[in-house]
């Protein structure tokens, strides 16, 4: 088949399909001939070239050079040790046990102080202020 | 053996950085993972170095924003690290991490869609102004001419819209294939489909893009 005949049979549908399949955006002779004579396919070719261009631009973007550091900093590295995991599982139990122990120690310590001694009215201070027997009211009123 | 040989060569050259990069390229992923699981979490750095660019590129294809793509890449690696103990090795590490990346990116897209919908709803009710998505990256491009910058911005938005309007599975297949440069087989493994199904998805995606470009071309 001659080239001239090939050019003649290329339809818009074939052109469009070939354009999308063609990742390098290279047109062969018959495609060039078709696009030169078809305004609709010219607009289409423009659209496809824009599509590939934007994809290429987005693909060529490289991540920030600090991304690796950022990722490594965000990793919970310490939690990966099995011993650590075991401890972290027991943590609430340990906290509760410590709390109970502290309450127990508090109660035990409190029980060493006899309640009667603290609130007894017959302490030496109270006796000292109870001076009614030394200086009676009758004595004052007589004067 | 090859790694050890390279270590010797690079030590002689006194270039530690090259040594790490070579190791990253040559070491088997399953070996690195087994080391991580046996209490050497710092080895994960090699996997991050090896796959961060590929994951970032795929995220760019789905999200089109550098900041979002970087955030999702970080999230992907953190999630993969947390779940690395459950990695059985049935599929390759790359397939596994691509799957996490696609899921994470889709989660963010859905969240953004919800936010956009709420914002639109707010603007209808009168609580908030509807805003256009704005990226600082667009301003840092090299074009100094505001007109060409605007045209390019418009083109980029249009292309992104063409890709984003594809049905979800077609979009994932297209992105993994075009942005991630994955083969049909790898795309199939990542999406949990057969190669035939992926081929069909890619064909339909191209067909939809073709239709969209033709329609938009007529309207221009």
Report the SS3 class of residue A99. helix
Evaluate whether ipTM surpasses 0.90: no
Provide CB contacts within 8 A for A64, sequence distance 6+: A70, B70
Q: Which helix (H) or strand (E) holds A44?
A: helix A39-60
User: Which residue do the tokens 């991050």 mark?
Assistant: B48
Rounded Cα–Cα distance for residues B59 and B100 (Å): 11
Quick one: pLDDT band at residue A127, thresholds 50, 70, 90? low
pLDDT in tens, A10-22: 788 888 888 877 7
What is the phi-psi region of residue A40: left when phi exceeds 0, alpha when psi lies from -120 to 50, beta otherwise?
Answer: alpha
Q: Give chain A positions within 8 Å (CB) of B213.
A: 44, 47-48, 51
What's residue A124's pLDDT?
Answer: 56
Residue contact B179–A55, C-beta within 8 A? yes
Q: Which helix (H) or strand (E) holds A21?
A: helix A12-21
What's residue A70's pLDDT?
Answer: 93
What residues 80-99 of chain B have any CB closer than 8 A to a CB of chain A? 81-82
What's residue A95's pLDDT?
Answer: 92
Residue in A41, A51, A65 to test binding to B, most B beta-carbons within 10 Å: A51
What's residue B194's pLDDT?
Answer: 95
Q: Give chain B positions within 8 Å (CB) of A43.
A: 217-218, 220
Residue in A46, A47, A78 to test binding to B, most B beta-carbons within 10 Å: A47
What's residue A28's pLDDT?
Answer: 80
- Kindly identify which residue of chain B lies nearest to residue A42, measuring between CA atoms: B217
What's residue A46's pLDDT?
Answer: 87
Kindly report the nearest CA distance between residue B82 and chain A, in angstroms: 8
Between chain A and chain B, the number of residue pairs with CB atoms below 8 A apart is: 100
Report the residue from B66, B69, B155 with minimal CB separation from A54.
B155
What residues 108-127 of chain A have any CB closer than 8 A to a CB of chain B? none
Provide CB contacts within 8 A for A78, sequence distance 6+: A84
B34 near A CB under 8 A: no
* Torsion sign, CA atoms A24, A30, A36, A38: negative
Report the residue from B56, B61, B160 with minimal CB separation from A63.
B56
pLDDT in tens, A111-124: 887 766 555 555 55
Burial group, residue A115, by CB count within 10 angstroms (0-12, 13-18, 19+): exposed
Residue A4 has pLDDT above 50, yes or no: no
pLDDT in tens, A63-104: 999 999 999 999 887 655 444 455 567 888 999 999 999 999
Spans of chain B below 70 pLDDT: 1-26, 127-144, 217-220
Report the residue from A16, A46, A55 with minimal CB separation from B210.
A16
In chain A, how long is the greatest CA-to-CA distance?
A: 153
Please state the rounded mean pLDDT for residues A119-135. 58
What is the phi-psi region of residue B126: left when phi exceeds 0, alpha when psi lies from -120 to 50, beta otherwise?
Answer: left
Report the residue from B52, B159, B220 with minimal CB separation from A51.
B159
- Kindly identify which residue of chain A lies nearest to residue B37, measuring between CA atoms: A80
Q: What is the pTM of this model?
A: 0.68
What's residue B12's pLDDT?
Answer: 43
DSSP letter for each residue of chain B: -HHHHHHHHHHHHT-HHHHHHHHHHHS-HHHHHHHHHTT-GGGHHHHHHHHHHHHHHHHHHHH--HHHHHHHHHHHHHHHHHTGGG--SSS-HHHHHHHHHHHHHHHHHHHHHHHHHHHHHHHHHTSS-------HHHHTSS---HHHHHHHHHHHHHHHHHHHTS-HHHHHHHHHHHTS---HHHHHHHHT--HHHHHHHHHHHHHHHHHHHHHHHHH-
pLDDT in tens, A47-74: 888 888 899 999 999 999 999 999 999 9
Return the number of other C-beta atoms located less than 10 Å from residue B36's C-beta: 21
pLDDT in tens, B100-135: 999 999 999 999 999 988 888 887 777 655 555 545
Q: Give chain A positions within 8 Å (CB) of B70.
A: 63-64, 67, 70
List phi, psi (to 5°) of A85: -65, -40
Quick one: pLDDT band at residue A6, thresholds 50, 70, 90? very low
Residue A32 has pLDDT above 90, yes or no: no
Residue contact A62–B159, C-beta within 8 A? no
What's residue B6's pLDDT?
Answer: 43
Q: Give chain A positions within 8 Å (CB) of B182.
A: none
């Amino acid at each position: 088949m001659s080239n001239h005949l090939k050019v003649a049979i290329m339809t818009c549908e074939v052109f469009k399909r070939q354009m999308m399949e063609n990742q390098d955006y290279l047109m062969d002779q018959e495609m060039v001939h078709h696009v030169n004579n078809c305004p609709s396919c010219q607009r289409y070719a423009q659209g496809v070239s824009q599509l590939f261009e934007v994809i290429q631009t987005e693909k060529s973007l490289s991540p920030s050079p600090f991304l690796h550091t950022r990722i490594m900093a965000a990793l919970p590295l310490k939690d990966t040790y099995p011993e650590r995991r075991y401890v972290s599982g027991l943590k609430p139990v340990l906290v509760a046990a410590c709390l109970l122990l502290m309450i127990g120690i508090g109660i035990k310590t409190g029980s060493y102080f006899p309640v009667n001694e603290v609130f007894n009215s017959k302490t030496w201070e109270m006796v000292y202020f109870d001076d009614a027997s030394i200086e009676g009211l009758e004595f004052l009123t007589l004067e | 053996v090859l790694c050890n040989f390279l270590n010797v060569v690079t030590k002689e050259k006194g270039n530690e950085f090259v040594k790490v990069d070579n190791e990253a390229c040559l070491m088997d992923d399953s070996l690195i993972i087994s080391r991580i699981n046996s209490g050497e979490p710092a080895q994960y750095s090699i996997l991050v170095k090896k796959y961060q660019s590929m994951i970032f590129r795929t995220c760019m294809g789905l999200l089109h924003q550098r900041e979002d793509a970087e955030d999702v890449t970080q999230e992907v690696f953190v999630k993969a690290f947390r779940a690395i103990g459950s990695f059985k090795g049935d599929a390759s590490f790359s397939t596994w991490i691509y799957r996490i990346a696609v899921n994470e990116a889709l989660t963010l897209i859905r969240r953004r869609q919800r936010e956009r919908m709420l914002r639109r709803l707010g603007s209808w009710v009168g609580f908030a102004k509807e805003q256009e998505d704005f990226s600082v990256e667009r301003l840092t491009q090299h074009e100094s001419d505001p007109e060409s910058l605007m045209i390019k911005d418009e083109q980029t938005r249009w292309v992104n819209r063409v890709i984003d309007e594809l049905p979800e599975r077609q979009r994932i297949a297209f992105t993994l294939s075009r942005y991630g440069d994955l083969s049909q087989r790898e795309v199939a493994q990542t999406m949990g489909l057969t190669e035939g199904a992926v081929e069909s998805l890619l064909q339909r995606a191209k067909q939809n893009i073709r239709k969209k470009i033709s329609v938009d071309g007529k309207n221009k």
